[in-house]
């Protein structure tokens, strides 16, 4: 997929008539990895290493998109780079499976009638069958939710248009309808008059097993922002490390009061607003240390502007640093490791080592965010790409001006987002037991 900030939820749905309308409280939903046997994108013919290499490929492609494009209690299963979300739209509820993307805002799905749609295996949403569906008028303030991509039809209905860096796109009507999600309490949670995009022209690299995108960014049309009154602008997740556990291991994706991250070991860092990349969760990474040696983040290296210099993203597999910082950091890691050097069989990563065991010595490594020192463990630093090769799960960007804190570095941490108070919190955790 082009917009690689993709977090996939898989949420089972239920009748909207048994749903409760969400107010100021917490709830938890199921989050399923795209490579889990529960996912419609699961490929049983792929090996574990195939899935990891594919995740690295998607991660690399996603970062290219960021550079090129300026437009705009439940299980979490690991296995690489992305996650899917299943939600219901309309009344009666109609289930859709979509890429949950923390780097975009609009919630959109393919809609009938579709003049130009990519192949979709599941039935397509028909807005005429929903009693709560309503197109947004051009005169409505809601029309501005889709930003510069909004326009007006001949009959004064608000249209949206989203372009992605790989030339994929979605265009259609901006509308409001009820969005319903199942929670682990057993009662579905309904959100009336949620702004969605009803796509009638969608094409590009979209997978046939998904129906669209669920935006989880910071813009007004994202799911997280629209749930704000019900959740206080809070959500959290805990990602199981790649290559550990079984397909039945799980953790939680939490909203509202269920998403509070506090207690022993918790540290927090500010969320900044980037003038150019407003939808992203932008942080300030001050330095990276290996043992007693600290390597500062180069001043002026980031394109984000202002105080921030790196984006945190749960869907990007690798962590991307400025090339100068990566070279210093990688060299220090290499000098501290007693393992022989090796070549990355996937040809993605630069700092690789030969070992068949997962019980190897590594130096202490800490990510120094503003106000938050985050110590990394073995599973945050290295990814196994073959039976006898591990690689440092860090890379650099071709244009070297946008940087990302990826999901391998976030695994085995409870990561909480507080949009109201503009903070991201990290708490060490064993995510398979959360």
| Sequence-ordered list of residues with C-beta below 8 angstroms from that of 366, at least 6 positions apart, any chain | 288, 289, 373, 374, 375, 376
Interval 144-171 mean pLDDT: 78
- Residue tagged active-site, from 35, 101, 344, 418: 101
Here the tokens at position 142 are 């809601």
CA–CA dist 268, 237 (Å, integer): 15
pLDDT for 80 beyond 70: no
Beta strands in 112-233 (DSSP E): 134-135, 151-152, 158-163, 169-181, 189-203, 212-215
105, 166, 177, 313: which is the annotated catalytic residue? Answer: 313
Residue showing tokens 């690991």: 78
The domains spanning 6-238 and 261-433 adopt the same CATH topology: yes
3-state DSSP call for residue 65? helix
CB 161 within 8 A of CB 174: no
Q: What is the pTM of this model?
A: 0.78
pLDDT at 64: 33
Say if residues 115 and 154 touch (Cβ distance below 8 Å).
no
21: exposed, middle or buried (Cβ count in 10 Å: 0-12, 13-18, 19+): exposed
Q: Quick check: helix, strand or coil at residue 244?
A: coil
Q: How does pLDDT run across 163-185, given as a tens digit for each residue? A: 875 678 899 999 999 999 877 67
| Cβ-defined contacts of 338-344 (< 8 Å, 24+) | 339/390, 342/388, 342/389, 343/389, 344/385, 344/389, 344/391
State the Cα–Cα distance between residues 101 and 343, nearest whole angstrom.
32
Q: Which residues pair with 238 in a beta bridge?
A: 414
The class level of CATH for 261-433 reads: mainly beta
Euclidean distance between CA atoms 190 and 192, whole angstroms: 6
Pairing relationship of beta strands 108-110 and 189-203 according to DSSP bridges? parallel
The encoded tokens of residue 431 equal: 């995510």
Any idea where the domains of the chain sit in the sequence? 6-238, 261-433
101 is catalytic: yes
**CATH number, span 6-238:** 2.40.70.10
Is the confidence at residue 254, as pLDDT, over 50? yes
Closest CA to 430 of 414, 409, 406: 414
Binned at pLDDT 50, 70 and 90, residue 399 comes out as confident
More confident residue, 377 or 68: 377
Tens digits of per-residue pLDDT, 278-329? 888 999 999 999 999 999 999 989 988 889 999 998 767 889 999 999 999 9
Stretch 383-390: mean pLDDT: 89
Under DSSP, the state recorded for 276 is S
Contact 314, 237 (CB under 8 A): yes
Mean pLDDT (whole number) for 218-245: 81
């Amino acid at each position: 997929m082009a917009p690689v900030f993709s977090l996939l939820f898989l949420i089972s749905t239920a009748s909207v008539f048994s749903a409760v309308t969400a107010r100021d409280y917490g709830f938890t939903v199921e989050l399923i990895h795209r490579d889990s046997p529960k996912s419609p994108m699961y490929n049983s013919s792929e090996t574990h290493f195939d899935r990891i290499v594919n995740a690295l490929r998607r991660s690399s492609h996603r970062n290219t998109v960021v550079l090129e494009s300026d437009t705009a209690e439940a299980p979490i299963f690991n296995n690489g780079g992305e996650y899917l979300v299943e939600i219901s739209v309309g009344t009666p509820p109609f289930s859709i499976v979509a890429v949950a993307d923390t780097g975009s805002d609009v919630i959109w799905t393919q809609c009938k009638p579709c003049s130009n749609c990519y192949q979709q295996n599941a039935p397509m949403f028909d807005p005429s069958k929903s009693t709560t569906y309503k197109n947004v008028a051009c005169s409505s303030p809601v029309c501005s939710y889709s930003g510069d991509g909004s326009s007006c039809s001949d009959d004064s209905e608000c249209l949206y248009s989203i372009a992605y860096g790989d030339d994929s796109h979605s265009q259609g009507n901006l509308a409001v309808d009820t969005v319903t999600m199942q929670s682990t309490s057993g009662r579905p949670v309904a959100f009336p008059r949620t702004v969605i995009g009803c796509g009638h022209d969608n094409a590009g690299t979209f997978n046939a097993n998904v129906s669209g995108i669920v935006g989880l960014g910071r813009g007004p049309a994202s799911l997280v922002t629209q749930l704000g009154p019900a959740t206080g602008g809070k959500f959290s997740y805990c990602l199981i490390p790649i290559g550990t556990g079984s397909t039945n291991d799980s953790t939680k994706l939490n909203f509202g009061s269920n998403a509070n991250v506090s207690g022993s070991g918790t540290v927090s860092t500010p969320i900044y607003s980037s003038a150019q990349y407003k939808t992203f969760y932008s942080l300030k990474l001050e330095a990276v240390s290996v043992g007693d040696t600290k390597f500062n983040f180069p001043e002026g290296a980031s394109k984000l502007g202002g105080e921030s210099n790196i984006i945190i993203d749960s869907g990007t597999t690798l962590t991307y640093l400025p090339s100068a910082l990566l070279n210093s950091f990688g060299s220090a890691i290499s000098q501290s490791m007693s393992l022989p050097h090796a070549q990355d069989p996937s040809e993605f990563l630069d700092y690789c080592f030969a070992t068949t065991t997962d019980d190897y010595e590594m130096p202490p490594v800490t990510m120094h965010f503003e106000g938050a020192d985050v110590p990394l463990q073995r599973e945050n630093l290295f990814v196994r790409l073959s039976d006898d090769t591990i690689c440092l799960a860090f890379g650099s960007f071709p244009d070297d001006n946008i940087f990302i804190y990826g999901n391998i570095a976030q695994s085995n941490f409870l990561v909480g987002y507080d949009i109201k108070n503009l903070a991201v919190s990290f708490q060490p955790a064993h995510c398979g037991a959360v």
